[in-house]
Amino acid sequence: MTVLSGDVLAGKIVFISGGTQGIGAAAARTAAACGAAAVVVTGRRPEVAEAIIDELDVLGTEPLFVRADVADVEQAIESVLATVEAFGRVDCVVNAAGFTERGSLLDTTPEMFETHVAVNLRAPFFIMQAAVRDMLGRSAPGTIVNVGSISQHAGTSYLAPYVAAKGGLASLTRNVAHAHRSDRIRVNCLNIGWTATEGEDVVQRRFHGAVDGWLDQAGRDMPAGRLGDPAEIADMIAYLLSDGSGVVTGSVIDWDQTVIGGQG
């Protein structure tokens, strides 16, 4: 549960792509707990969305699920437009949808590369475009947080297309933040490290042969004795969405226990 004040997002309409599980779902819970008037989550599977919608309803926000495959740019844009249609505006955006299929420079197919770009870079681009157009049309401020990856600095050999897309997202964050700083639209990015999510469990079992107990073992090998916690990340997302983060914009923040460039 969030450690933030219960009203830091009071009255806000919060849109979260990929908000039905993992970091996106954690961000949705925290936004609701922080007083958001409405929380919109997108995803491809309504049956998965049912649980988070029920949780959000109990937390006192007005929840909405928009079925969307953000790899399809039209669906990505329409999900924002559906939010504006339902609630009259969008105040805060979290781009949390992600695609983590493994691929190296040598074995990545054009189709896999295109999907990485479509989900991890193109979707955030056009979701931001639609949201910023709404904000500008109302002459209203807004905040956006893009969920990036610590891997954008270089990453492992089997994440080549993912790294390419997330590296683009980091640069895109800075560009949009700079372009709209005078519009009072703030845009920041969190480079997330290894985090204990439902999706990560699937990835570890599918691609890396993980078995029951892998999470505890992985945690023991980390400096903090555990992997990252989605709830902690969600607190930081809510902080960056809120007025509490002040004038901060264009920041790409490493959220990990690995220190880039550290030696020994």
Catalytic residue numbers read 149, 162, 166
- Would you put residue 225 in left (φ > 0), alpha (ψ -120 to 50) or beta? left
Residue partners of 111: CB distance under 8 A and separation at least 6: none
Cα 64 to Cα 37, 90, 153, 168, distances in angstroms: 11, 13, 35, 29
Maximum distance among all Cα pairs of the chain, rounded to whole angstroms: 54
Residue-by-residue DSSP string for 9-46: TTT-EEEEETTTSHHHHHHHHHHHHTT-SEEEEEES-H
Q: Among residues 252, 262, 17, 71, which one has the least CA distance to residue 150?
A: 252
Residue 188 near residue 146, CB atoms below 8 Å: yes
Beta bridge partners of 254: 191
